[in-house]
Amino acid sequence: MNEVLLLQGLVGGIVFGAIYALIGASLNVMVGVLRVINFAHGEFILAGSFFAYAMLMGLGLNPLYAVAPVAVLFFLAGYGAYFVLIPRLQRSDEPETSSFLLMFGVSLMMIAVLTWIFEADIRPVNFSFDPINVTLLVVEDAYGPGRDGRVIVPTARIVALAVNALMIIALTWFLYRTLTGKAMRAAIMNRDAVQIVGIDVHHLSATAFGLATAIAGVTGVLLAMVVPSVDPNGGPPLALVGFVVIVLGGLGHPVGALLAGVLFGVVEQVATVMLPQAAAQMLGFVILIAVIFFRPSGILGLAVSR
Amino acid sequence: MSDTVLEVQALTKRFGGLVAVDGVSLEVRKGQIVGLIGINGAGKTTLMNCVNGIYRSDDGQVRLNNADITRKTPHEIALAGVGRTFQVPRTFRRMDLIDNLMVPLLHTDASDADLTARAEDGLRQVGLYELRHNHGEELSGGQQKLLELARVIMLDPELILLDEPFAGVNPSLCRIMLQQIEKLRDASKSFLLVSHDLTSIYRLSDHLYVLNQGEIIAEGLVEDVQNDPVVIEAYLGN
Amino acid sequence: MANVVTSSASSAGHWLRPDIVRQLIWYLLIVVLVFWCITAPSRDANLSLYFSFMMWITLASSLNFIAGFAGYMPFGFVAFYGLGAYGTGIAVKVLGLPIWLGVPCGAALGVAFALLVAPSLRLAGIYFAIVSLSLAIICQRVVALLPEWLTGGSLGINLGVVADREHGYYAMVLVLVGVLVTASWLARSRLGKALKAIRDDVEAADAMGIDVARSRLKAWLLAALFASLVGGVDAWFTGAFDTQTAFDVLVTAKTVIYAMAGGLGTALGPVVGAGVLVWVDDQIWRAFPVLNNFLLGLLIVVLILFAPRGIVGSLMQRFPRLRRYVM
């Protein structure tokens, strides 16, 4: 085991962990406020990636410029989609299971549309910052005398991490300092109570759906910067990351999801360095099942009771 | 002592830091209707859930006919002779009424025809026979309460736990409910009755316990409890 | 207040009693269906279409055992199908068994897996869904990690040489008959009633003396048995599979959709749903090959929003009298 590789894995882990944190946070807003288990979350994220890809190919713009338009457009799309999809759902026999199925259908539709527009191949996202890479650390004589090891990170990843951190700060501020954010947290804790206090639940829910969609879209843009390629079939693994993170962090607990996301990212990236690839890919699911069986309330110990 | 059906000894149930039931002891004898009253959140339903095994109690013992049932699962306790109804009626909403009443009979060896006949008879007794092909979800709230009672009767338990049997039930259905309860009592079934409708509970109960913040604060005959200053204070506040 | 579902004028004992009519309709349907499928080869019909017709009816009906009767929606249902295929393939390729013995081996593997993961049934609603989905993915990855001499690696397993397509077709007819007979038994049996009680309210069922864990385990194993049988027989008929096709999440998706479209909780529902939608799916494929999955997704969305109880379920809700004639 090499010190440089481990450090490289750790840095990658933080970059990916921040992405996972965002995925978990947005999915958690949806699950918490709306009780919608969004199977299509991966495709929401992919749609963001493809938006950035399309801007790059069509207008030659760096994906960084996609952040703002994606945030606005996705918020509006999510706000509108809420009224089409969700209110009817509450009338079914089992809203949670139905929501999972419903979003399963949405996911199939989105994959089909993405495949139709962009075709089924994995496409590279060719853009660059200047300089391309940043050397974080030089370990002298890491590979023997005179052969130094370097911990190198692409600049794009550092930029993505910075944007990511800003998003997390903004989201936390929103949830804890603004009235709408507080109402959302209240709705996570007790949906019925919110109705009694006279909050417009539809507006609040639609806002939450829009917010979660917007964060997912921006996450997609950042993901396209971190892993510069797009694949229409890459959604389900992302949704599953989301599930791992929210189960790990506690269903309906936004801050828990942030912590769990970073933790999971670090573990996964370090595991990729140390284990065979297929085994590392399985790790997340094994963790997920272990947590559900042994600590169903998540690492912060707060659960949304059923 | 041989006629004691249910004996609860120093039962405790905690949820995190909250002690919902705190060292409660009580006793129900054969053919007795025992009332359990207390304001909302006093721990009445929690106690009931501990007795029938839905909750696992943290401490204490539940004995049925002198046999320990504390650690048994709900279905084992049901088959041992404890039936219950729920505060919010929980009928099987997408099964017809006959099937609803057949559920407690499924474990028996009787023939299917016999089961159907018994279920139909059970529906007749509570006046729901005409609706026998309807689904549980198509009944009114009061009818669902009656259906639950009929369902418990099918189980033929020695002890019946009734959680708010009269809440939201209109007077004419209430009368049927009362008749049924009295009839069962005359057949020497025992009851633990939870309610905050004091009129009916005073009328029915042979013995009364008052629960407040998870503890029994008074017990005795109805007249004694009615005039107990501690009880009046707990109900009316100070 | 309830509308009274009136009982028909005929008195008990009359041969037109609803329960007898109900069974007549159902068994007649089975006989016609099976006859129609069994004579397809001699009619020179499109065997692939008939095969997928039978396959999806079987899958949807077996999903119904656990989802419709017991109320557990297994989003990783494809795991049974995939393990059935791999169990069959390995038994034939590595152990050298004849294919008709290989299929039961595949079924045994699927049922063994179902037993292994049975503790997940303790989980409530969405946790069960997530765990079930993850388990199917883990299954796929584990199979992909196994040595190539066992599972054929990324090329998968090819049974084309040893497996006769037409025999595979008749094997599917047998499995179909098996699942339909099981479904009709379950619809009338005490186990079926116990499962429905569990679906409607677990705690109340438990308090009424139903052994919840035992009953749902039985439904789970039955569902796994038939799904893995289908996996094996499909491998027999198609001749080749790999980890992508055997564990394709679309298998779960279609099974769930077909079962729901017909209506979960009745024996008839999944048969109607799969029957209608396999035909619709085929038409869509012909007309719009590109947008096939889009329309499939749209269909799910519309179904969930506008007819969550499916064709049969919605009809029964609308016309309560029908209930007594539907198995």
Q: For the residues C309-315, what does the mean pLDDT come to?
A: 87
- For residue B220, list its beta bridge partners: B208
pLDDT in tens, A83-113: 999 988 877 777 877 888 899 889 989 999 9
Pairwise CB contact (< 8 Å): A100 & C126: yes
Q: Are A50 and A56 in contact (CB under 8 A)?
A: no
Q: Domain for residue A303, yes or no?
A: no
Q: Which residue of B has its CA nearest to C4?
A: B131
- Count the domains in chain B: 1
Chain C residues within 8 A of A108 when measuring between CB atoms: 253, 293-294, 296-297, 300
Distances in Å between the Cα of C260 and the Cα atoms of A91, C271, C273, C315 are: 16, 10, 7, 13
Q: For the residues A149-177, what does the mean pLDDT come to?
A: 89
Pairwise CB contact (< 8 Å): C207 & B78: yes
Collect all residues with Cβ–Cβ distance below 8 Å to C324 and sequence separation of at least 6.
B133, C8, C18, C19, C22
**What is the predicted pLDDT for the residue at A295?**
67
More confident residue, B113 or A237: B113
Question: In which band, very low, low, confident or very high, does the pLDDT at C15 lie, cut at 50, 70 and 90?
Answer: low
pLDDT in tens, B174-189: 999 999 999 999 999 9
pLDDT at A222 over 90: yes
pLDDT at A293 over 70: yes
Q: Among residues B231, B190, B229, B191, which one has the least CA distance to residue B211? A: B231
**What is the predicted pLDDT for the residue at C4?**
64
Pairwise CB contact (< 8 Å): C209 & B104: yes
Whichever domain contains B179, its CATH number is 3.40.50.300
Q: What is the ipTM of this complex?
A: 0.92
Chain A residues within 8 A of C125 when measuring between CB atoms: 94, 96-97, 306
- Output the six-digit token pair for A246: 């929210």
Q: Does residue C207 belong to the interface with chain B, where contact is any CB pair within 8 Å?
A: yes
Q: Among residues C73, C80, C70, C56, which one has the least CA distance to residue C225? A: C80
**What is the predicted pLDDT for the residue at A304?**
35
Three-state DSSP at B208 gives: strand
Using left for φ > 0, alpha for ψ between -120 and 50, and beta otherwise, residue C194 falls in alpha
Q: Are A275 and C141 in contact (CB under 8 A)?
A: no
Give the Cα separation of A181 and A33 in Å (integer): 11
More confident residue, C309 or B68: B68
Chain C residues within 8 A of B83 when measuring between CB atoms: 207-208
Pairwise CB contact (< 8 Å): A292 & C123: yes
Pairwise CB contact (< 8 Å): C197 & B103: yes
pLDDT at C13 over 70: no
pLDDT in tens, C182-203: 999 999 899 999 999 999 999 9
Using left for φ > 0, alpha for ψ between -120 and 50, and beta otherwise, residue B119 falls in alpha
Count residue pairs from A and C with Cβ separation < 8 A.
116
Collect all residues with Cβ–Cβ distance below 8 Å to B174 and sequence separation of at least 6.
B142, B166, B200
Q: Which residue of C has its CA nearest to A297?
A: C127
Chain A residues within 8 A of C138 when measuring between CB atoms: 282, 285-286, 289
Q: For the residues C147-152, what does the mean pLDDT come to?
A: 91
Q: Among residues C272, C275, C264, which one has the least CA distance to residue C308? A: C264
- Structure letter (DSSP) for residue C3: P
Q: Does residue B54 belong to the interface with chain C, where contact is any CB pair within 8 Å?
A: yes
Chain C residues within 8 A of B52 when measuring between CB atoms: 207
Question: In which band, very low, low, confident or very high, does the pLDDT at C1 lie, cut at 50, 70 and 90?
Answer: very low
Q: For the residues B104-123, what does the mean pLDDT come to?
A: 93
**What is the predicted pLDDT for the residue at C156?**
92
Pairwise CB contact (< 8 Å): C206 & B75: yes
- Structure letter (DSSP) for residue C4: P
Query: How many Å from the N-terminal Cα to the C-terminal Cα in chain A?
Result: 45
pLDDT in tens, C229-276: 999 999 999 999 999 899 998 899 889 889 988 989 899 999 999 999
pLDDT in tens, B28-53: 999 999 999 988 888 899 999 999 99
Q: Does residue C194 belong to the interface with chain B, where contact is any CB pair within 8 Å?
A: yes
Pairwise CB contact (< 8 Å): C200 & B74: no
Question: In which band, very low, low, confident or very high, does the pLDDT at C6 lie, cut at 50, 70 and 90?
Answer: low
Pairwise CB contact (< 8 Å): A105 & C300: yes
pLDDT at A264 over 80: yes
Q: Which of C3, C212, C324 sits opposite B75 (nearest CB)?
A: C212
Question: In which band, very low, low, confident or very high, does the pLDDT at C175 lie, cut at 50, 70 and 90?
Answer: very high
**What is the predicted pLDDT for the residue at C313?**
86
Chain C residues within 8 A of A279 when measuring between CB atoms: 145
Q: Does residue C2 belong to the interface with chain B, where contact is any CB pair within 8 Å?
A: yes
pLDDT in tens, A277-290: 767 777 777 877 78
- Best interface-test mutation with C: which of B52, B92, B130, B163 has the largest number of C CBs within 10 A? B92
- Give chain A's mean pLDDT: 84
Phi, psi (deg, nearest 5) at residue C306: -110, -20
Pairwise CB contact (< 8 Å): A282 & C141: yes
Pairwise CB contact (< 8 Å): B74 & C201: no
- Cβ neighbours around A2 below 10 Å, total: 12
- Best interface-test mutation with B: which of C186, C208, C266, C319 has the largest number of B CBs within 10 A? C208
Chain A closest-CA separation from residue C112 CA (Å)? 19
Q: Does residue B49 belong to the interface with chain C, where contact is any CB pair within 8 Å?
A: no
How big is the CA angle at C98 (ends C93 and C102), to the nearest 5 degrees? 70
**What is the predicted pLDDT for the residue at C9?**
41
pLDDT in tens, A171-200: 989 988 998 888 888 888 777 777 767 778
List the alpha helices (DSSP H) in B7-111. Answer: 44-51, 74-80, 97-102
Q: Does residue C323 belong to the interface with chain B, where contact is any CB pair within 8 Å?
A: yes
Question: In which band, very low, low, confident or very high, does the pLDDT at C47 lie, cut at 50, 70 and 90?
Answer: very high
Q: Does residue B107 belong to the interface with chain C, where contact is any CB pair within 8 Å?
A: yes
Distances in Å between the Cα of C243 and the Cα atoms of C141, C147, C151, C162 are: 8, 13, 9, 20
The boundaries of the domain holding residue B110 are 4-236
Pairwise CB contact (< 8 Å): C7 & B133: yes
Q: Domain for residue A217, yes or no?
A: yes
Q: For the residues C286-310, what does the mean pLDDT come to?
A: 85
Chains touching B by CB (3 or more pairs below 8 Å):
C
pLDDT at A11 over 80: yes
Q: Does residue A105 belong to the interface with chain C, where contact is any CB pair within 8 Å?
A: yes
- The lowest-confidence range among A35-44, A263-272, B136-145, C208-217 is A263-272
Q: Does residue A285 belong to the interface with chain C, where contact is any CB pair within 8 Å?
A: yes
The pairing of beta strand B33-37 with beta strand B190-194: parallel
**What is the predicted pLDDT for the residue at C8?**
44
Whichever domain contains A219, its CATH number is 1.10.3470
**What is the predicted pLDDT for the residue at A303?**
41
Give the Cα separation of C55 and C175 in Å (integer): 9
Give the Cα separation of A19 and A218 in Å (integer): 10
- Give chain C's mean pLDDT: 89
Count residue pairs from B and C with Cβ separation < 8 A.
98
Tally: H helices and E strands in chain B: 9, 10
**What is the predicted pLDDT for the residue at A269?**
84
Q: Which residue of C has its CA nearest to A31?
A: C126
**What is the predicted pLDDT for the residue at C10?**
39
* % of chain B surpassing 70 pLDDT: 98
- Count the domains in chain A: 1
Q: Domain for residue A300, yes or no?
A: no
The boundaries of the domain holding residue A269 are 3-294
Question: In which band, very low, low, confident or very high, does the pLDDT at A306 lie, cut at 50, 70 and 90?
Answer: very low
Q: DSSP string covering C5-56, please? A: -PPPSSPTT-TT-HHHHHHHHHHHHHHHHHHHHHTTGGGT--HHHHHHHHHH
Pairwise CB contact (< 8 Å): A89 & C133: no
